[in-house]
A and B are shown apart, each in its own frame.
Chain A
Amino acid sequence: MLEIKNLVVQIEDKRILNGLNLTVNNGEIAAIMGPNGSGKSTLSYVIAGKEDYEVLDGEILLDGQNVLEMEPDERAAAGIFLAFQYPLEIPGVASMTFLKAALNAQRKARGEEELTTPDFIKRVNAAAQQLEIPKDMLKRALNVGFSGGEKKRMEILQMALLQPTFCILDETDSGLDIDALRIVSEGVNALRSPDRSFLVITHYQRLLNHIVPDTVHVMSSGRIVKSGGKELALELEANGYADYRTSEAA
């Protein structure tokens, strides 16, 4: 379970999150929607532990553990996973090398044995097959020269391998064509489990047809301003964010 209490965050003296409260229960898929600039990506980065942000107040608890005191790698080992909106290209680091380093680092942090190479390759191949990722892509440098869709599939592959308990999908639908959207969504749905929760950040209702949320939250000016069931997403799609922008102007 992830609990965010009264989170206040700024970057370079600009306030982005203004006392945000949110709880995501185990097994729950929570969607966050909101206009550009409402602080959605900031929220995802702050949960994952990016340094640039200054947390002025509030707390983030993962199963009762204070996440804000942890380094990004410790958060990952504790079960947090951020699927990046713009996955980064890392020239010179082969995707396989990266995946193995990540998986074994997490296992090591949790006091588990490192995986043997055959075992590792078996797991990667199984996950890659489901996400329709060709093997030669895994031999290439991480994300270098990958299309937008390939990068997003690679994010989901990492998620499938690392088996996190709290997954953040930051606009995973952006830049995806219909087929890629289906593949990515199926990948995510395959990972749904009572022990795993998701925070799905998106602008559009479209993604939520594929990954059906349990709860939908509207974010505006760094706060959750409305929460509801999946029908709230349809309402937003029909009416836009106009109703929620007023608070921004105020």
Chain B
Amino acid sequence: MADVTLMKTPAETALAQAYESAKAILPGNVESRAEAFELFTRSGLPHRRVEEFKYTDLRALMREAAPFAGTPTASEAKAALQSAKALAGVEALQVPFVNGHFVRDAVDFGSLPEGVEIVPLAEALASGHDWLARLSPVAWARQNPVYQLNTAFMADGVMLRVTGQVETPVHLRFVTAGNSAVATATRVLVLVEEGASVTLLESHESPNGANHQPNDVIEMVAGDRSNVRHVRLNAEGDGALALSTLTLKVGAEAEFFSINVVAGAATSRHQVFAILDGENTKARINGMTMVKGGQHADSTLVVEHAAPNCESRELFKTVIDGEATGVFQGKIIVPHHAQKTDGRMMSAAVLLSEGGTMNNKPELEIFADDVQCAHGATCGQLDEDLLFYLMARGIPRKEAESLMVQAFLGEAVEFVEHEGVHDALVSVVEGWLRARA
């Protein structure tokens, strides 16, 4: 078939113009940015005929590309952080970003917890820091247009290195402020060295009514025998189009846990590209999504068992109310040599209304012959018999539904060991349920 050059959409045209004017001032290696933008330009914003975006048609969902945000002034950053609430009650080392820019004044570099090093990304890019060689650890993320856009436009972020047993959680706090729509491209590189351990929190928030377009990438390289607990909360305002990617490469005998909680944004897509790269590693990747009204939330996941004897568990829970749409696309890849792989993936959705939609697409690609892999997907309503049982004890219907939704979602959250974080997530669920009552 002959190549067909498609007309650019207004958003694609705006992105091309933004790249032209920004490329000279964005920090760092111009070649890798240029390459990423070139790759993006070839296919443009992905649409429903692109398999990976079949259920999240970005070309249709991103009618306009918002201008990229400038660096906030110190007082703007301070005001934005003061009104930030997500996971605010959890005692943690705060690493804040406002409008995609690292707020370095908010971090006391002199008293970081032992085993934690932080380097501002803009600086690192400009100076060609050593650690940058460890960026982009997952080759096939580079084929992903959302990731490509972030690479082309990344203006700031941090590089975080963990070298010991860090007790205090590290909280990456992403705040987009203001009411006129802006785009951000933040990149965080997390290096967890051999045997190190950390709890990494991420929160993402913005005001309601603003059509912000954050695009964040976390790239994590976790060494052998490392232990990482990662909790991400999307608490974006109701107008946001929030795109995010987690790439992970984890070594041998490590333990990795990640959960993405979606409680905000008009449209969101969270992508996880994980490679289990050493033997006897255990990874659990969970998701918990609550959507209502016209919200659209996509969880896309690829886990490659690149080494034998690894175990992965994926559990995604979605609750849909109103006319909202949930998407789960999960794929486990087991190459020839990854014998004794044990992978189990499950996506379960509850529809609380007539008008909701759930698209479940679990996939297994298995080339090894001695593996245990399973996947499942369910989609249904709350059990009427159970509701009747609760109501027969005097609990009104909405409250009975809430109890059952909490129980349903609880399975995904119970793996969060940090009590304060666990309780904060339970409060997020309770808040969401109260808002629908």
Contacts and interface: CB of A to CB of B under 8 A. Distances in A.
A197 interface: no
Given A48-B392, A72-B392, A84-B389, 18 more contacts: A49-B388, A49-B391, A51-B388, A71-B391, A73-B391, A73-B394, A76-B394, A82-B392, A88-B386, A90-B386, A90-B390, A90-B403, A98-B390, A98-B403, A102-B395, A105-B394, A105-B395, A162-B394
A139 interface: no
A101 B403 contact: yes
Contact of A76 (B386, B392, B399, B407): B392
A147 interface: no
A114 to B, nearest CB: 13
Interface in B379-397: 384-386, 388-397
A166 B400 CA distance: 22
12 contacts: A51-B384, A71-B397, A72-B391, A73-B393, A73-B400, A75-B392, A76-B393, A90-B407, A93-B404, A101-B390, A101-B403, A105-B395
B291 to A, nearest CB: 20
Nearest to A45: B388
A90 B393 contact: no
A69 to B, nearest CB: 15
Given A50-B388, A73-B391, A82-B392, A90 B404 contact: yes
A11 interface: no
A60 interface: no
Given A93-B404, A98-B403, A73 B386 contact: no
Contacts of B395: 73, 101-102, 105
B365 interface: no
A118 interface: no
Contacts of B407: 90-93, 141
Interface of B: 384-386, 388-397, 399-400, 403-404, 406-408, 410-411
Contact of B396 (A51, A82, A97, A105): A105
A158 interface: yes
Interface in A32-86: 48-51, 71-73, 75-77, 81-82, 84
Nearest to B402: A101
A92 B392 contact: no
A73 B400 CA distance: 10
B323 to A, nearest CB: 25
A11 to B, nearest CB: 14
A214 to B, nearest CB: 25
B55 to A, nearest CB: 28
Contacts of A115: none
B399 A72 contact: no
B404 A162 contact: no
Nearest to A87: B389
B394 A92 contact: no
B406 A92 contact: yes
A185 interface: no
Contacts, number: 79
A109 interface: yes
A82 B395 CA distance: 14
Contacts of A76: 391-394
Q: Contact size class for A?
A: 20 to 34
Contacts of A88: 385-386, 389
A221 interface: no
A106 interface: yes
B22 to A, nearest CB: 48
Contacts of B389: 84, 87-88, 90
B388 to A, nearest CB: 5
Interface string A185-208: 000000000000000000000000
Contacts of B397: 71, 73
Contact of B393 (A50, A91, A141, A158): A158
B158 to A, nearest CB: 37
A158 B389 CA distance: 12
A49 B392 CA distance: 8
A217 to B, nearest CB: 23
Nearest to A92: B407
A63 B316 CA distance: 49
Nearest to B388: A50
Contact of B403 (A48, A82, A93): A93
A102 B406 contact: no
Nearest to B400: A73
A232 to B, nearest CB: 29
Nearest to B396: A73
A109 B397 CA distance: 13
Contacts of A91: 407
Given A72-B391, A76-B391, A105 B399 contact: yes
Contact of B394 (A51, A77, A87, A141): A77
Nearest to B403: A93
B204 to A, nearest CB: 27
Q: 5 tightest CB-CB pairs across the interface, nearest first?
A: A92-B407, A76-B394, A106-B394, A102-B393, A72-B391
A97 B404 CA distance: 12
Contacts of B394: 73, 76-77, 102-103, 105-106, 109, 162
Contacts of B408: 92
A62 B149 CA distance: 67
A162 B392 CA distance: 11
A93 B382 CA distance: 14
A243 to B, nearest CB: 34
Contacts of B388: 48-51, 72
Contacts of A73: 391-397, 400
A77 B408 CA distance: 26
